[in-house]
Amino acid sequence: MTDGVIYQAGWTLNDIAWAQFDPSKVNPALLAAVKAASLVEYNAPDYVAYLKRVYRGAPESTIHAIEHWGDEEIQHGLALGRWGELADPDFHFDSAFARFRALYRPSHFESGDGSVRGSRRGEMIARCVVESGTSSLYSAMRDGTDGSSTELSAAPSPVGPVAPSGGVEGAPPMASSSRRRSRAERRSAG
């Protein structure tokens, strides 16, 4: 396998036509899935820290790829969180995420050097399965809409959200996964 960029984020939150969002078209079951996914995706920094411990001593390109993946996951969480807030005015992403973090603290995120799956190979297989499932979820979410509005425009497909520009090149990199941005920073940075 050669080193290099396999996927580079090609969209920002500003690429999404948020003003066209129509909350009246949102299915409540879809809304619940989007809210849950936003929290899991945005929690990427903990998972990145865990994976970096699992892959300690691996080539720097591997560690960089893990960090890049984490940045993409944060971006997905932000997009889904904004979608959830638009769909449900009573949903507040920041406070929901704070509750999520208080209740979800797996011990392997906190300490340990090895994979809870027994090996790096087992960890990679688990990641492939999870990412395949996530891609399937986003595809089902996209397919469950009529496509005539941006009712699901913020739900990432395997290559990012359905953005009006349709472009996938030249987006700036996301903020480092070592810190989460405040709501004001997220909104202004897009």
What pLDDT, in 10s, does the model give residues 71-81?
989 999 999 99
Helix (H) or strand (E) run with residue 103 in it = helix 93-103
Q: What are the CA-CA distances from residue 138 to residues 33, 53, 135 (Å)?
A: 10, 29, 5
Nearest alpha carbon to residue 51 among 127, 104, 102:
127
* Winning range, highest mean pLDDT, from 7-16, 26-35, 57-66: 57-66
pLDDT, tens only, 12-45? 888 888 888 888 888 888 899 999 999 999 999 9
Q: Which helix (H) or strand (E) holds 161?
A: strand 160-161
Closest CA to 150 of 78, 68, 87: 87
pLDDT band at 146 (very low <50, low <70, confident <90, very high): low
The Cα–Cα gap between 32 and 42 comes to 16
| Structure token digits, residue 29 | 């079951």
pLDDT at 175 over 60: no
Q: For residue 83, what are its two tokens?
A: 């979608």
CA end-to-end distance (rounded Å), the chain = 34
Quick one: pLDDT at residue 8? 54
State if pTM tops 0.95. Answer: no
Could you state, in order of their start, the residue ranges of all structural domains in the chain?
22-163
CA–CA separation, 83 and 17 (whole Å): 11
* Whole-number Å distance between alpha carbons of 152 and 31: 10
